[in-house]
Amino acid sequence: MSAFATTVRRIDDTGVPLLLARLFVGGLFAYLAIMKLRGDPFTFLKLIHEYGIFGEGQYLWLNTTAAVLPWIELACAAALILGVCTRGAALLIFGMLLFFAPALLLRAWGMYAADEATYASFCDVKFDCGCGTGEVYICWKMLENTTAQLASLIPLFSRSRLLCLSNLFRGRKASPTPPPQASDT
């Protein structure tokens, strides 16, 4: 094993990178989910519809996505923050970002290509992406998504489970009852 790999493993074994990644990604997704849940559900539904992911007449899927997605994000965020089911939560978040990022990029590119005269550059494209934070600049949002996606890989691949609540439940076995002692009577 190389010195670099040994150093990375030693740092990972401290649990600090895992804790920082869990708090960053979990905190970000908790905030965004709460903002969506506090906002107007019909506005969120309309914003999802603007991506054109669901074809006409697929309102059941559109409505279900708008109703369920913030709750899935919140559950994953809570799991990461608490340190339970971290790999599953990180995998779900990574998958969501793997889907959201290209959809966001395509929507922004469509806006830019349709009206290039309005924007000095692609990074000047600004719109409400449905994330719960209102209008955002596309380059800033893509940077945020990429950072969160890379950070979600840490809980997914970390060997450490230090500083995780799941550690309390792992490895505890009931102590065996001592064998009966022979009596001298």
Q: What is the pLDDT averaged over residues 22-45?
A: 96
pLDDT digits (tens, 9 = 90+) for 46-69: 999 999 998 888 999 999 999 999
Q: Evaluate whether residue 181 is within a structural domain.
A: no
Sequence-separated (6 or more) residues with CB below 8 Å from residue 54: 48, 61, 62, 65
| Number of domains composing the chain | 1
pTM comes to 0.87
Q: Evaluate whether residue 26 is within a structural domain.
A: yes
Q: Evaluate whether residue 170 is within a structural domain.
A: no
Single out the residue of 64, 74, 25, 60 nearest to residue 44, CA to CA. 64
Length of the chain as a residue count = 185
pLDDT digits (tens, 9 = 90+) for 64-116: 999 999 999 999 999 999 999 999 999 999 999 999 999 999 999 999 999 98
Q: Evaluate whether residue 102 is within a structural domain.
A: yes
Q: Evaluate whether residue 177 is within a structural domain.
A: no
Q: Evaluate whether residue 28 is within a structural domain.
A: yes
**Phi, psi for 133 (deg, rounded to 5):** -110, 10
Q: Evaluate whether residue 67 is within a structural domain.
A: yes
Distance of CA 12 to the CA centre of its chain: 20
Domain that holds residue 159: 9-163
- How far apart CA 40 and CA 162 sit, in angstroms, is 39
**Does residue 164 carry a pLDDT above 50?**
yes
pLDDT digits (tens, 9 = 90+) for 112-124: 999 989 999 999 9
- How far apart CA 78 and CA 73 sit, in angstroms, is 9
Q: Evaluate whether residue 31 is within a structural domain.
A: yes
pLDDT digits (tens, 9 = 90+) for 118-153: 999 999 999 999 999 999 999 999 999 999 999 999
